[in-house]
Every structure is written in structure tokens, then in C-alpha cells.
Amino acid sequence: MPKISVYIIAYNEAEKVAATIRSVQWADEIILVDSWSTDDTQKIAEGYGVRVVQVDFKGFGDLRNKAIATCSGDWIFSLDADERCTPEVMQEIRDIANSHQSLDVYQVPRRNYFMGRWISHSGWYPNYRQPQFFRNGSMSYDLKPVHEGYVLHSDKPIGNLKNAIWQFPFKNMAEVISKANRYSTLGAEKIRHKKLSMHTALFHAIWAFIKHYFFKLGLLDGWAGFVIALQSFESTFYRYVKAIEIQKKIEWKAPA
């Protein structure tokens, strides 16, 4: 039978990582790819018998490529520490791995739980990111620091799983704000070469809100949908402002 490896990306996820590991204990190999967490993430993972690999963080694309390199299975299933595999996805993955008619690369839908409810709209469902289940050697990632893309090494089309994994992205608003700050910093590096101004920053931020709240029907997700759209506004705006800071080498110093 084909061997299935799971790699889990984590950084300071002590409150979430145990549930993630338990959801994939059916796999032949589980590897936690950590970037020197300062909490008990590594200790918890090792308590479940998971192999922990420490990788200096140089962007998510680089991190995922190094994660792939640690996997010895015929197939690789990628999870973040705030995601959980469901029994339905487990069975679908096994069926694909054991079929001679399978494609090489599959996207996996995600169902997000936020502010006490499952999100059905807002661009958060089915919320595909990069393909998360693939034959070893059939894909890699580009080196973008955040929202990294992927590079196919297969002539076959990309498939889609029918069943969704679960994602629990934020436990509270403090995490929402913290992640927006971190991702906007990483994202600023991606756009620092563009022609930017505060007007473009505001325009893109407003469009991000409109897109998530109206075009992606976030208004049907109640207050959670509004918060998602507002968070998109803020993270987009700060990403552009931080890129402007980089371009103009702005430092907020007190007057002498």
C-alpha cells in the first residue's frame, strides 16, 4: 500500500497542535515543521511520537519546500496547525492513494469556524489554498514570503477533494489582530517594488472590504462576516503602508 506522510506547519501553536495531530494519527508518518516555537508546541508534538524538524523561517514558500523534503511517503498531506482532518477526508485520501486512476495533485476545501459559527461565505468556504494532497515529487512552492504559490511537476490536471477539512484560524480577536500584523509585514515585501501611495493603500483596502462583504456574501455570515471583511480591510491597508515605509525608508522617530 502507498505510504502517506503528513507535514504540519506550526509556530507557537501549543493550544491547537494536539487536536491537529490527533486528526491525522492514521497516517504512516507525521512531521511537525516548527520554526523554533517558544511555547510547548514541540514538547506536545513529541509527546504524540511526532518527529519535529526545526526550520529557520525565511518565508512560507521556503518553509513548505523544506517540509516536503522531510517527507518519505509516496503521498503528502499538508496541514497547518489550526486545521484538522475529518474522517471523511481521511477516507477520501486513502481511496485516492490506493487508486491507479488518481491524479497527482489535489486541492482540499476548508470549512472555517469563527466567532462561534461555521462560515459559509466571505470567501472562507470552500476556501482552497495551495493544493494540500499530492504525490511526492509532483509539486513544490515558489519562494514568496506569504500567500505562496505552487509549481506543478505533473502534466495531469489538479483534482478537488469532495470533503472539507476544518480550520479554526483564530481563538479571539487578539489573534486576528496579531496575524494581520504579521501577514501584512510579510506581504509588504511582495509589493515593495510597485508604485505606491496612501491613496492606493486606501483604495485596495476599501476594495478588499467590498469584495469580502458584498461580492463574497460576507453579509450573510452576520457579524462574523463583517469582522472578516473589516480584517481584510485592515490587513490590506497596513500591507501597503508598510510597503511604502520600506520604499521610502521611513522611520518614525521623535523630533530632536
Residue 217 has pLDDT above 80, yes or no: yes
| Residue 221 clears pLDDT 90, i.e. is over it | yes
Domain stop point among 132, 150, 167 = 167
Map residue 95 onto helix, strand or coil.
helix
Shared domain check, 179 and 59: no
Is residue 79 in a domain?
Answer: yes
**Number of folded domains in the chain?**
2
Q: Are residues 185 and 157 in the same domain?
A: no
Whether residue 253 has pLDDT greater than 80: no
Same domain, 111 and 81: yes
Residue with cell 456574501: 217
pLDDT of residue 129: 86
The answer to whether residues 204 and 159 belong to one domain is no
More confident residue, 131 or 254: 131
- My answer on whether 183 and 89 are in the same domain is no
Query: Taking residues 230-252, what's their average pLDDT?
Result: 90
The pLDDT tens digits for 164-174 are: 999 999 989 99
pLDDT of residue 61: 93
Residue 118 identity: W
Query: Mean of the pLDDT values across residues 213-221?
Result: 98
3-state SS class at 147: coil
What SS3 class is residue 84?
strand
Q: Give the Cα separation of 9 and 80 in Å (integer).
A: 5
Mention every residue, 6+ apart, whose C-beta is less than 8 A from residue 200. 240
**Whether pLDDT at 179 is above 90:** no
Residue 253 maps to a domain: no
The predicted pLDDT at position 98 comes to 97
User: How far apart are alpha carbons 188 and 106 in whole angstroms?
Assistant: 29
Mean pLDDT to the nearest integer, 53-64:
95
**In this structure, are 147 and 221 located in the same domain?**
no
Instruction: Output 193 or 43, whichever has higher pLDDT.
Output: 43
Are 4 and 75 in contact by the 8 Å Cβ rule? The answer is yes
Q: Are residues 151 and 200 in the same domain?
A: no
CATH code of the domain in which 45 resides: 3.90.550.10
* 3-state SS, residue 5: strand
Percent of the chain with pLDDT over 90: 89
As a whole number, the mean pLDDT across the chain is 95
Is 221 part of any domain?
A: yes
Which of 143, 167, 191 terminates a domain? The answer is 167
Domain with 235 in it: 173-248
pTM for this structure?
A: 0.90
Q: How far apart are the first and last CA of the chain?
A: 70
pLDDT at 188 exceeding the cut of 80 = yes
Residue 117 has pLDDT above 80, yes or no: yes
> In the chain, how many H helices and how many E strands?
7, 13
pLDDT at 192: 87
Closest to 165 in 3D by CA, of 95, 98, 84: 84
pLDDT higher than threshold 90 for residue 256: no
Mean pLDDT of 201-226: 97
Residue 145 and residue 242 in one domain? no
